[in-house]
Amino acid sequence: MGKLTAAKVKAVIDQPGRYSDGDGLILFVRAPGQASWVARVQHNGKRRDYGLGSAKLFKLAEARDRAWEVRRALVDGRDPRTLWQQPAPLLRTFKEAAEDFLEALGAKELGERRLKQGRSQLTRYAFPSLGRLQVQSLDAERIAECLRPIWTAKPETARQVRSLIERILRFARPDGPQFAGTLGPAISDRLPKQPAKGNHKALPYQELPALMERLQEKTGMGALALRMTILCASRSGEIRGATWDEIDFDRGVWTIPGERMKAGKPHRVPLTSQALAVLEEAAKIRRSDHIFPNGKGVALSDMALTKTLRDMGMTCTAHGFRSSFRDWAAEQTSVAGEIAEAALAHAVPNAVEAAYKRTDFFDRRRDLMDAWARYATGGESGEVVQMVAAS
- Helix 221-232 and helix 273-284: axis angle, to 10°? 160
Other beta carbons within 10 Å of 54: 15
Asked if 5 contacts 47 with a C-beta cutoff of 8 angstroms, the reply is no
Confidence check: pLDDT of 229 > 80:
yes
User: What is the number of residues in the chain?
Assistant: 391
| Long-range CB contacts for residues 224-228, cutoff 8 Å, separation at least 24 | 224/278, 224/281, 224/282, 224/292, 225/292, 225/300, 225/304, 225/305, 226/305, 226/308, 226/309, 226/318, 227/278, 228/275, 228/278, 228/279, 228/291, 228/292
Residue 197: inside a domain, yes or no? no
Same domain? 164 vs 248: no
Quote the percentage of the chain above a pLDDT of 70. 83
Q: How confident is the model at residue 91 (pLDDT cuts 50, 70, 90)?
A: low
Q: What is the mean pLDDT of the chain?
A: 81
Other beta carbons within 10 Å of 333: 20
Range of the domain at 138: 90-188
Helices within the chain (DSSP H only): 6-12, 60-75, 94-101, 107-110, 112-121, 127-130, 140-151, 155-172, 184-188, 208-217, 221-232, 236-240, 273-284, 302-311, 320-332, 337-343, 351-356, 362-376
Q: What pLDDT does 383 receive?
A: 41
Higher-confidence residue of 108 and 44: namely 44
Mean pLDDT value across residues 115-142: 90
Asked if 293 contacts 221 with a C-beta cutoff of 8 angstroms, the reply is yes
Residue 195: inside a domain, yes or no? no
Least confident of 241-255, 276-290, 305-319, 367-381: 367-381
| Long-range CB contacts for residues 69-74, cutoff 8 Å, separation at least 24 | 70/39, 70/41, 71/23, 71/24, 71/39, 71/41, 74/41, 74/43
Same domain? 313 vs 257: yes
DSSP character at residue 23: T
Q: What pLDDT does 290 receive?
A: 92
DSSP character at residue 358: -
Q: What pLDDT does 157 receive?
A: 87
Same domain? 76 vs 133: no
Mean pLDDT value across residues 75-79: 82
Instruction: Please state the domain count of the chain.
Output: 3
Same domain? 76 vs 211: no
Q: In degrees, to the nearest 5, what angle opens at C-alpha 102 toward C-alphas 59 and 184?
A: 145
Q: What are phi and psi of 128, to 5 degrees?
A: -55, -40
Mean pLDDT value across residues 128-136: 90
DSSP character at residue 348: -
Q: What pLDDT does 349 receive?
A: 44
- 10 Å CB burial of residue 280 (0-12, 13-18, 19+) is exposed
Higher-confidence residue of 56 and 71: namely 71
Same domain? 296 vs 363: yes
CATH code: domain of residue 128: 1.10.150.130
Residue 26 CA to its chain's centroid (Å): 20
Same domain? 328 vs 212: yes
Other beta carbons within 10 Å of 315: 9
Q: How far is CA 198 from CA 92, 160, 238, 316, 317, in A?
A: 39, 16, 21, 11, 11
Same domain? 227 vs 123: no
Residue 200: inside a domain, yes or no? no
Other beta carbons within 10 Å of 88: 8
Domain-ending residue, one of 124, 157, 188: 188
Q: How far, in Å, CA of 68 to CA of 176, rounded? A: 25
Q: How confident is the model at residue 121 (pLDDT cuts 50, 70, 90)?
A: very high
Same domain? 10 vs 63: yes
Residue 386: inside a domain, yes or no? no
Higher-confidence residue of 108 and 231: namely 231
Mean pLDDT value across residues 189-195: 79
DSSP character at residue 386: -
Q: What pLDDT does 212 receive?
A: 93
What pTM was estimated for this model as a whole?
0.51
Domain-ending residue, one of 34, 62, 84: 84
Q: What pLDDT does 386 receive?
A: 41
Least confident of 106-110, 121-125, 168-172: 106-110
Q: Which amino acid is at 88?
A: A
Residue 346: inside a domain, yes or no? yes
Residue 198: inside a domain, yes or no? no
Same domain? 131 vs 111: yes
pLDDT digit string, tens, across residues 308-364: 999 989 888 888 898 899 888 877 887 777 788 888 887 644 443 343 345 568 888
Confidence check: pLDDT of 177 > 90:
no
Least confident of 19-28, 135-144, 195-204: 195-204
CATH code: domain of residue 35: 3.30.160.390
Same domain? 212 vs 71: no
Asked if 115 contacts 98 with a C-beta cutoff of 8 angstroms, the reply is no
Same domain? 110 vs 173: yes
Same domain? 235 vs 327: yes
DSSP character at residue 259: G
CATH code: domain of residue 275: 1.10.443.10
Residue 196: inside a domain, yes or no? no
Mean pLDDT value across residues 76-93: 65
Domain-ending residue, one of 121, 154, 188: 188
Residue 22: inside a domain, yes or no? yes
Sheet containing 267-270: give its strands across: 247-248, 253-256, 267-270
Q: What pLDDT does 391 receive?
A: 38
